[in-house]
A and B are shown apart, each in its own frame.
Chain A
Amino acid sequence: MTRPAKLLKALVTPRNRGVTSVSSFSKKNRIAYLIILPTVILSSIFVVVPIVQTLWISFTNQVLAGGQNRKTAFIGLKNYKGLAHDPHFLNSFRVTLIYAVLNIICSVGAGLVTALIVNKKFKGRGIVRGILTMPWAFPDVASAIIFVWILNAAFGVIGYFNQWLPFNTQGGWLTSSPLAFISVVGMSMWKTFPFYSIVFLSALQGVPEDLVEAATVDGASWFQRFKTVVFPAIRPTFILLCVLAFIFAFRQFSMIYLTTGGGPDETTQTLTISVFLTAFKFFDSAVASATGVFGLIVTAGVALIFLYFQAKQDKEQ
């Protein structure tokens, strides 16, 4: 509960102090239910009910529309047991995890380094800021088209730069392993790190300048200053962006789907791609749902850990 709301409540209903159940139904607060209703309905239809349904389908042997001549039956945990031995699922989970970790290291890392460099005023800072936010504003499908073209094996401009690379790029950037996976990480980095750097930049404005100065006077090295003064001030932002970068790997669909399609040999098939293909290519809603539930559990776990850190931080303040 917010402080203004708390004070306001005390002002309006002084006699109900401390009695939550009564005060939460006070006349003033009743309107909250009314104005939250549209969002509740929208979330129920498109989020809550579908999650429950996904859970239900994952316990059945349902197939997607078209196979209705077969009766859907409850088969318990069979789908989940199947997943444990399903090489496609295990592979996509591994790919997603590696992708998520690389997202954190590359995108959050690059975002932080960029923000530290750009933080001081310089000529053309506005332009650089503008350039940095462009990839974020640029739609996924358009980005995918650009990268399909740049990384095209026969005519892409990447062919011009390949000659300086220390490794073999014969198979093409989007069609051979491990280049395809590297490309996907690179594309995600292009898409996200500039935005992260903008967020870091804003957080850096909150670093106490006098402390930095004092540490400098005391002879602290650049790294010591970063560790003891700068980083603690931006830690909440750092954690938030790590969570976002991790979740990004579990959400990104269009850019992977349109560039590599999950291939070659499923090396870029993340859970998201796997769910989509299982459902709409192989029409196996049950297995797709079980995979989906698994992804939901992982992301819900991350959300809970994040909430825990936030609550702890709120308490400290």
Chain B
Amino acid sequence: MAIVRGSSKRYLAYDFLRYLVIIVMSVLVAFPIYWMILTALQDPNVTLQYPPSFYPKSPNLLGFHQLFTDNPMGRWLLNSAFVASVATAVTTTFGILGAYALSNFRWRGKILFSFILLFTQMMPEVLVIIPIYEIFAKFHLTNDLIALAFLHSAFVVPVCIWILKPAFRGIPKEVNEAAQIDGCSQMKILQKIVIPICSPAIIAVGVVAFFASWGDFLWGVTMISDRNLFPASVGLASTISQLNTPVQELLSGAFVYGLPPVILYIFVQRYVISGLTAGAIKG
């Protein structure tokens, strides 16, 4: 928004104030993550000093060493990676098909289906946790990572369809018509035209699915009780409750587990922002 530019002096003051607000806000937002990195890399003796040091002193990697020797952390990370990969593949596939059905076809039950999707997305998952737990127990799906991945997908597919639908609709109808005249079937159009054109939105959807699954704690802690099958979130949470876990080890855990999504995010940031906001704004 344009700010009134009465005089250059006033303009300068506004600018200064704006930068100040921006810097203070960025520092506040970044501080918790900075503090995590600092504690993870710093000798515990320095960490527990008062007043605290706001820059790294005598850094070491002992926390990471403890983390991986005290716990099957490598295993936990692999479990999370596996669940998140399966969930991402399932979600993206189902999401593309679902969004295509909603954007390109006319069928009975479409409105009901859309409502169920919207509702699923808004529904607090924990409210249906008992029957889902019972279903899992009945069919011996507890401690099954693939079942967990499908469970994650079920709650993310709606968001993904929601993001993809406006993107699919945005394709000019002439393109679709031309392809039809050339004898393309609907599935061919999806494969050859819709998916390539909408790849940014599809990447965004993949990232959303990956984050949701990687970050999930509720379903993991409910369904997985075998310590070797813990996803990283559940494994790390179990180290919080052990009071004797050294703080450096704990924060190293947060670092190792929190970093992959952030790195992934840096690479795909462009797609995610445009994809998500398009979905959010057009609804």
Contacts and interface: CB of A to CB of B under 8 A. Distances in A.
A141 B106 contact: no
Interface string B169-180: 101110011001
A8 B281 contact: no
A48 interface: yes
A145 B251 contact: yes
A122 B222 CA distance: 47
Contacts of B161: 39
B19 A122 contact: yes
Contact of A128 (B22, B103, B236, B274): B22
Given A32-B105, A149-B39, A50 B283 contact: no
B154 A119 contact: no
Interface string A240-253: 11010001001101
A28 B29 CA distance: 51
Please classify the interface of chain B as helix (H, G, I), strand (E, B), loop, or mixed, using the class held by over half of its residues. Answer: helix
Contacts of B100: 35
Contact of B217 (A140, A159, A291): A140
Interface string B215-249: 10110001000000000110011001000000100
B128 A45 contact: no
A300 B117 CA distance: 12
A64 B132 CA distance: 12
B108 to A, nearest CB: 5
A139 B214 contact: yes
Nearest to A135: B29
B178 to A, nearest CB: 12
Contacts of A276: 126, 129, 218
A77 interface: no
B173 A7 contact: yes
B196 interface: no
B276 interface: yes
Given A2-B169, A142-B236, A280-B222, A299 B280 contact: no
Interface string A285-317: 100110111011001101100110010000000
A213 B2 contact: yes
A299 B187 contact: no
A61 B21 CA distance: 55
Given A139-B261, A145-B236, A36 B126 contact: no
Q: 3 tightest A-B contacts by CB?
A: A142-B258, A4-B173, A32-B105
